[in-house]
Amino acid sequence: MAMINNVLVRDFKQGRLLFYWESPEGQKVSPDLKSYDAAVEWWRDAVQADYTGPERRGSSIDRRANDVRRMLNDNQGHNTTITSGRRRTDTLPEITDDRAVVFLDQFKTALTKTQEKE
């Protein structure tokens, strides 16, 4: 399963928000996932399983993603630019297709009307 061109979808079904991955052709390639973090974890595992080249890292976790440590270094004047050696999975994916936006807009409108009546 080539995970490179898949899109992350946020949808609203059966009264809840959910996330899943689709191929460019619109075929669902992941199960329904309860959160963005679960979708990212599923994607990282799928990309890592799909990779056939030599693996240099022993972990799929990006140790350089520690924002607290990065901010501390920035405050001390250290330059922490990372320009190479990053896996594709070290950069978080964006929600490519937000199908829940219509529902969320309707919900916000209904909530605003309810608050105006009070």
Position 75 scores a pLDDT of: 60
Widest distance between CA atoms in the chain = 63
> Any idea how long the chain is?
118
pLDDT tens digits along 3-34: 667 899 999 988 899 999 999 999 999 999 99
- Residue 77 amino acid letter: G
- 32 or 104, which is more confident: 32
Helix, strand, or coil (residue 14): coil
Tokens of 41: 């974890």
- 66 or 112, which is more confident: 112
Position 62 scores a pLDDT of: 57
Position 44 scores a pLDDT of: 87
| Alpha carbon distance 6, 50 (integer Å) | 13
Position 112 scores a pLDDT of: 87
Regarding pTM above 0.85, the answer is: no
Tokens of 103: 């529902």
Half-sphere exposure of 58 (CA within 13 A, CB side): 0
pLDDT tens digits along 39-89: 999 998 888 888 777 776 666 565 555 565 666 666 655 554 544 455 667
3-state SS of 76-111?
A: CCCCCCCCCCCCHHHCCCCEEEECCHHHHHHHHHHH
Cβ atoms 37, 22 nearer than 8 A: no
